[in-house]
Amino acid sequence: MTTSIREQQWVLRAQCRDRDALECLLRSVQPWLHRYLRGLVGARDAEDLLQEVLILVCRHLACLRTPELFRPWVYRIASRAALRHLRKENRCPEMLPDGSVSLDEIPGPPLPVQDETLEMLLQAPGIPPGSRAVLVLHFREELSLPEVAAILGIPLGTVKSRLAAGLSALRRRLGAERSV
């Protein structure tokens, strides 16, 4: 996942308080960011959470030191906001001792329909939520595994194991459906 040259320029201009550049930047991220949030929290809460994430992006844009990393930075903000939202809504059943939430404990929300086969597979029961997040980012958002690791803030090895677990769950699901 790369930030386009145009987006990098908008970031720099927005950091210099150019309101038009900020508006262009936010408009450019809205479609893919909304799709990502719908995949994590569901369609019902995605709109409100999108607005919250865009506000966070505006507030913290001056802290971004590397404009080339704008998109992964926004994904990370969105991921953290989604986790906070799910925790607040009590949709995360188990907290870690430090008060954080494990992605494995996040319930998988219904995903928006784009490609019916992919969506059907991603909604299959038995896929751990942490694996579901990796599958959504890798297959639907078409991000590389290192990009997924950067977005979720987890090691690459963890991303690979969650991907393997998710694919294994999908294979078991497909095998069960074929034998019926």
Domains (range + CATH), the chain: 5-179 (1.10.1740.10)
Tokens of 27: 């408009």
Tokens of 36: 């990502």
What pLDDT is stored for residue 13 in this prediction? 96
Give 80-88's long-range contacts (Cβ < 8 A, gap of 24+): 81/49, 81/52, 81/53, 81/56, 82/37, 82/40, 82/41, 82/49, 85/41, 85/45, 85/49, 85/52, 86/40, 86/41
What pLDDT is stored for residue 34 in this prediction? 92
Question: What are the distances in angstroms from CA 115 to CA 18, 120, 139, 166?
Answer: 38, 8, 11, 18
Taking the C-alpha atoms of residue 53 and residue 124, their distance in angstroms, rounded to an integer, is 28
- 67 touches 164 (CB < 8 A): no
Residues in the chain: 180
Taking the C-alpha atoms of residue 91 and residue 86, their distance in angstroms, rounded to an integer, is 5
Taking the C-alpha atoms of residue 107 and residue 169, their distance in angstroms, rounded to an integer, is 15
Name the pTM for this structure. Answer: 0.64
Per-residue pLDDT 10s for the chain (180 aa) are 678 899 999 999 999 999 999 999 999 999 999 988 887 777 888 999 999 999 999 999 999 999 998 998 998 899 889 888 877 876 544 444 455 555 555 544 444 434 666 666 766 667 777 788 888 888 878 888 998 898 888 999 999 999 998 888 888 877 766 665
**DSSP state letter for 139:** I
What pLDDT is stored for residue 112 in this prediction? 43
What pLDDT is stored for residue 56 in this prediction? 95
Neighbouring-strand partners of residue 101: 95
Taking the C-alpha atoms of residue 151 and residue 134, their distance in angstroms, rounded to an integer, is 10
Task: Residue 138: name the closest of 124, 150, 128 by CA.
Answer: 150
- 140 touches 122 (CB < 8 A): yes
Number of other residues whose CB lies within 10 A of the CB of residue 40: 26
Report helix, strand or coil for 101.
Answer: strand
